[in-house]
Structure 1
Amino acid sequence: MIPLYHDFTGETVLVFGGGTVGSRKASRFADEARVVVVSPGFDDRLVDLAEEDRESVELVRATPDAEAIHGWIDRVDPALVVAATDDAAVNAAAEAAALDTGALVNRTDVSAGDRSGGRDVRSVVVPATIEDDPVRVALSTGGASPALAKALRERIEAEIDGAGAMAELSGTLRAELKDRDVPPEKRREAIRRVVRSEGVWKALQKGDSYGRQEADSVIEEVLNR
């Protein structure tokens, strides 16, 4: 499987199941999409999320049986359906109905490894993510080991601390060097030196201006050689 990013701005995500898994999925998409959760009961964190953001999260108290799934999908017209109930038959019905209507589907009770290459192109895995805006790292063990995914996420979080500030700085510098008509080869070398400089990373921890000053020194050293 190849990781891809998808923009859900202005789209709707329909979640079947309001337990721990459904709550986690709803929380994941609520920052970008409208989320509708259908379930006979809801995790406390999901209730809190809906109260905090009534425009983005809608909770519908109902028991989604296999026969009613198509009706819910027709009503909501989601871009993505998340099958997160504890009933395999309901999850299978949600998956089939989503694929029939052309929506993406994330079935939480079936791992990537269980598919043996038989996954439909619209059946997706939602990986764990580590973010330091605008840097985002996706992480998945294919469902084989959630514990390992959590452990790796914690390690990567420490590794990319400050990466967002570095991305912003290096992007600005790249544009400025281009405006100065610095040859492409020199531009690439200069930016490589900046992003690999321990001095720049440490300076950014003190503030953007310190990072910029250190980066300028690195760039001038490259350009003046």
Structure 2
Amino acid sequence: MDIQKRPVLVVGGGEVACRKIDMLLQADADITVIAPSIKSYLARYVEEDKITYHKGFYHRNLLDSKYVQVWATTDNSELNHQVYKDAHDAGILVNVVDDTAHCDFITPSMVNRGRVQVAISSGGSSPVLIRIIREQLETQLSTKIAMLADFCADKRNVVKQRFATVDERRKFWELFLRSPEIETLMTRNELEHAFTRYLSNEIKVSSERNWIEYHQETEMLTLKSLRLMQQAEWVIYFNDCPLEFVELCRRDAERITVQSEQEIADYLEQADKEQIRVTILIKKGHLISNSQLQAYLSNDIYVQTL
């Protein structure tokens, strides 16, 4: 929900309110706090004119219809539920912190890398688990992602002018952003040089066949398997393949279920003609008997499960 410059009411001025107000400030909301007293942490925000503070106890008359959100953050459940009822009566979205049953909306834990934001949520069931997951993602997502996102935003029109079709533009961005050198580039100037070089090249479209072997658990797939599965335009698999493996493939790839090896061979022949990148999911221990597929395998990438 876009709450930039829009009025939001927070009832309560304790530690919970501090956490939520920090989040609301990141969204650039227009924040009003109602509480008999507030933490010194929030008092600094008042002094800096970042939030508005009304000293006193909550009562219904303070609940103006101008607010787009209301947050009940006190340690008094009876008061929080009264805020919930009043907000509902006024047609305002409300969140009672740590009480999912009395929330019209919940807020995910966020990992921010500039324009790139990753939201993690357990539906309010396990905040500690979500915090642990967020900590893991914080260590894995480079801060350079923010620079890359800004760069891509600035170059979108340049790429549109260079390539006529959506497919060509998508393939260009994949080639550029997946290039090994991207990992080593640290400055905007270095990105400019690499971008110019890639932009001058023609997009070479070629078919590609990747055979990914799966077993019982998705965690047994290799990192190489996951990378190749994300590059597929078609995903071919027998109808007994567990869906959790299929769902790890690229989201906009076409899903194709088959019942025989000959069907796979027919689809691969079509993919060759249309220059399509294909991932074939194959169960561990399955022996290919079709001679056409055997011929393909001699030139294809086959990644075994762990």
Match of 1:223, SS? coil
* Matching of residues 192-203 of structure 1 within 5 Å: 192-203=174-185
Map of 1:18 onto structure 2: 13
Q: Is the 8 A contact 1:174 1:191 kept in 2?
A: no
| Alignment match, 1:213 | 193
Residue 37 of structure 1: aligned partner: 33
Distance 1:90 1:222, change over 3 A: farther
The reply to whether residue 58 of structure 1 matches residue 40 of structure 2 is no
* Equivalent in the alignment of 2:264: none
Give TM-score scaled by structure 1 length. 0.80
Aligned counterparts of 1:196 and 1:164: Cα–Cα separation in 2: 16
Equivalent residue number for residue 78 of structure 2? 89
2-side partners of 1:165 and 1:224: how far apart? Answer: 27
**Partner residue, 2:127:** 146
Alignment root-mean-square deviation, CA: 2.2
The one-character-per-residue Cα deviations of 1:42-63 (angstroms, maximum 9, x if unpaired) are 12211122222x1x30122212
Structure label with greater radius of gyration? 2
> 1:102-141 alignment to 2 at 5 Å?
102-111=91-100, 115=101, 123-141=104-122
More strand by percentage: 2
Kept in 2, the 8 Å contact 1:127–1:140? The answer is yes
Whether contact under 8 Å (1:38, 1:62) holds in the other structure is yes
Deviation at 1:107, TM superposition (A): 1.0
Per the TM alignment, residue 219 of structure 1 is displaced from its structure 2 partner at its CA by 4.3
Contact 2:69-2:92 within 8 A present in 1 as well: yes
2:154 maps to 1:172? yes
Q: Which residue of 2 aligns with 1:48?
A: 44
SS in 2 for 1:90: helix
The CA deviation at 1:125 is 0.5
Q: Is the 8 A contact 2:10 2:70 kept in 1?
A: yes
Tell me the TM-score normalised to structure 2 length: 0.60
Q: Compute the displacement of 1:222 (Å).
A: 5.1
Task: Give 1:208 shift.
Answer: 0.7
Quick check: 2:163–2:169 contact (8 Å CA) kept in 1? no
1:192 shift after superposition: 1.4
Counterpart-to-counterpart distance in 2, 1:222 and 1:84: 57
Which stretch has the larger CA shift, 215-224 or 7-16? 215-224
The 3 A distance-change label for structure 1 pair 209 and 194 is: same
User: For the residues of structure 2 that align with 1:186 and 1:211, how far apart are their CA atoms?
Assistant: 20
Deviation (angstroms), 1:84: 0.5
Q: 1:224 to 1:209 in 2, by over 3 A?
A: farther
Contact 1:13–1:36 (Cα < 8 Å) also in 2: yes
Q: Displacement, 1:20?
A: 0.6
Per-residue CA distance 1:185-209 (angstroms, 9 max, x = gap): 2211010122223411321xx2111
CA distance in 2, matches of 1:192, 1:106: 40
Distance 1:167 1:12 in 2: 29
